[in-house]
Amino acid sequence: MTEKSGDDESPERWDSEHATGIDDSGIEDDHTDSNVELDARSDVNIEYNRKNDRENENNPYDRARREPKHTAESSILTRIRRGAVTTLRETLYSVIVVVAIGLILFAISGVWPPMVAVESGSMEPEMSRGDLILVSETTRFTPSYAHENTGVVTAEVGQSRGYQTFGGTGSVIIYDPPQRVGSPIIHRAHFYVEDGENWYEEANSAYLTASGCDELRNCPAPHAGFITKGDANARYDQATGIAGPVRRTWIRGAARFRIPYLGYVRLQLAGALTVNPVLWVSGIR
């Protein structure tokens, strides 16, 4: 019969001692608390690192430092493409708005282009070089006493009827003689003459230098039309030879409204492109 050695321990005793962290020497085992503390510190460090990672992800400088070179170049190209697309879109919107306004004005006025720039001072002081003039078809917005079916009120009729435009009586018309080289003329219609008419007696002598019809250009009238003059000019257009009596088919529109200085943009563009503005009136060509 074998006896147990005195150094042997029962399983129950060994489990009990080590479960309580006490060894044979009676010293408490502190490994358990140390492990718990290390685990807690590890959790704090992990959470801190995660927080730093999140902050770095939102930092463009740190992100650019961590990204490969080709990724940064791709980002630059992407920004350039986006900028180009934005510029193109804004330009397209601006063009659409301008075209829409132009179409609306055309629908109202019946004339294209619906605005013209004043190129000289012949209509001063009511119109100056660089002013932008809103134009309409002559038969629109005119009174019933306009001359026949032209829509033009002459200065003579306007004086008796009290019809004024741009500081004077009668209509200011834009006309373009077929033989003229250059931009259309914007002057006031003074009176109407018939084919072969001696209009010297009807004219205002202040606007003539001739002493009779035989000394006056375009007299007798080579054809029916309006006698016109710039407000700032000394003589009639027909007396100076600028044009013959203005036929109805030469008239491109009637001036309605003035916008000061805005026409300079059009004049600059016309000068740069060497293009003279020409009016087109619906129904007249």
Give the tens place of pLDDT for each residue, 186-217: 999 999 999 999 999 999 999 999 999 999 99
Residues 95-124 pLDDT 10s = 888 777 777 877 777 787 788 889 889 999
Does residue 11 belong to any structural domain of this protein?
no
Lowest mean pLDDT among 58-67, 74-83, 108-117: 58-67
Q: Kindly state the percentage of the chain with pLDDT values over 70.
A: 67
Please report which confidence band the pLDDT of residue 246 belongs to, taking 50, 70 and 90 as the band edges.
Answer: very high
Across the chain, mean pLDDT equals 77
Q: What is the CB neighbour count within 10 angstroms for residue 259?
A: 12
The alpha carbons of the chain give a radius of gyration, in whole angstroms, of 47
Does residue 4 belong to any structural domain of this protein?
no
Q: Give, for 55, the enclosing helix (H) or strand (E).
A: helix 31-58
Does residue 99 belong to any structural domain of this protein?
no
Tokens 């927080």 locate to 51
Does residue 162 belong to any structural domain of this protein?
yes
Q: Are strands 168-169 and 172-175 parallel, antiparallel or unpaired?
A: unpaired
Does residue 259 belong to any structural domain of this protein?
yes
What residues make up the domain containing 227? 115-274
Domain of 176, CATH number, reads 2.10.109.10
Q: What is the DSSP letter of 2?
A: P
What is the domain count for the chain?
1
More confident residue, 268 or 16: 268
Does residue 126 belong to any structural domain of this protein?
yes
Does residue 95 belong to any structural domain of this protein?
no
Does residue 65 belong to any structural domain of this protein?
no
